[in-house]
């Protein structure tokens, strides 16, 4: 079920379904909630919440500066709107920066943290240049970037079309800002402050899995490396992703409450 609420002049659209432990899914720049379509099946087990962050997809309003703190506060406002005291926060790729910021700023509202292809800072030149290329394409060729990202996430023509069309709705300046903020984001020196259960998922073919080394040094966590896939885990290995999330919440969160 899609619904909306107003936050600082922005009309925030979100999907809500299921019952049980709440889990909020946070998307990467411009992709919006559509990228988590295959995670909707988790509503058989949990209360699934999938917002379009402001400036993305169907969530529109006044253009404003994007910050990880700002998006974390937006997620908090959504939970307050839904009268949810605590939730599991799941971020994919750069959405993981927002998820980490939420857990670090609002530990009292956090049941657990799930990072899919996530990072506490951009550590490799390859990953840095990927961000810079994304920022360049947002400015110069946004429609081409929509096509490239949608095509990288799925071979299903209908799903690819839906991702492509949803991305085209994004505010271009805020899309650029999300990339810019995720490139400069650095929470490595705060990782030891994460006290909630932490799940990390990476593709075996994804160069961003090198970020796991930082988490290994600084956090208690559960890590899963999924074979035969690169970065796009929610769409390309959705069944394994969903099974891993179910196991993590059942064993690490539900049993402790």
Question: Mind listing the pLDDT tens digit for each residue in 52-70?
Answer: 999 999 998 999 999 999 9
The mean pLDDT of the chain is 95
CB within 8 Å of 23: residues ≥ 6 apart: 42, 46, 47, 48, 49, 87, 88, 89, 90, 114, 245, 249
Residue 257: its pLDDT value, please?
66
| Nearest by Cα to 81 from 69, 73, 89, 70 | 73
The reported pTM is 0.96
pLDDT of the residue at 195 = 93
pLDDT < 50 regions, the chain = none
pLDDT value of position 9:
93
What is the architecture of the domain spanning 2-256?
A: 3-Layer(aba) Sandwich (3.40)
Q: What is the pLDDT of residue 230?
A: 92
Q: What is the DSSP letter of 66?
A: -
- Return the pLDDT at 208: 78
Task: Report d(CA 54, CA 14) in Å as an integer.
Answer: 11
Q: How, if at all, do strands 2-7 and 10-17 pair?
A: antiparallel
Residue with tokens 């990782």: 191
Distance CA 93, CA 115 (A): 8
Distance CA 235, CA 28 (A): 13
Instruction: List C-alpha distances in Å: 31 to 23, 134, 246.
Output: 18, 13, 24
Q: Which tens digit of pLDDT belongs to each residue from 154-186?
A: 999 999 999 999 999 999 999 999 999 999 999
């Amino acid at each position: 079920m899609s619904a909306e609420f107003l936050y600082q002049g922005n009309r925030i659209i979100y999907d809500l379904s299921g019952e049980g432990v709440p889990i909020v899914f946070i998307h990467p720049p411009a992709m919006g909630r559509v990228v988590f379509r295959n995670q909707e099946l988790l509503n058989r087990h949990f209360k699934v919440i999938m917002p379009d962050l402001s400036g993305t997809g169907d969530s529109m309003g006044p253009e404003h500066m994007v910050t990880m703190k700002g998006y974390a506060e937006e997620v908090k406002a959504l939970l307050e709107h839904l009268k949810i005291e605590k939730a599991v926060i799941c971020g994919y790729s750069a959405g993981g920066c927002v998820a980490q910021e939420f857990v670090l700023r609002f530990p009292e509202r956090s049941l657990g943290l799930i990072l899919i292809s996530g990072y506490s800072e951009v550590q490799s030149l390859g990953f840095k240049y990927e961000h810079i290329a994304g920022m360049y394409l947002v400015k110069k060729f946004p429609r081409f970037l929509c096509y490239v990202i949608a095509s990288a996430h799925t071979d299903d023509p209908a799903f690819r079309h839906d991702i492509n069309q949803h991305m085209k709705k994004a505010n271009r300046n805020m899309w650029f800002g999300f990339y810019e903020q995720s490139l400069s984001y650095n929470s490595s020196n705060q990782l030891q402050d994460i006290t909630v259960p932490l799940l990390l998922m990476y593709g075996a073919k994804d160069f961003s899995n090198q970020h796991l080394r930082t988490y290994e040094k600084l956090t208690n966590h559960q890590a899963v490396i999924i074979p035969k896939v690169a970065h796009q885990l929610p769409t390309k290995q959705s069944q394994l992703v969903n099974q891993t999330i179910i196991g993590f919440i059942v064993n690490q969160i539900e049993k402790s409450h």
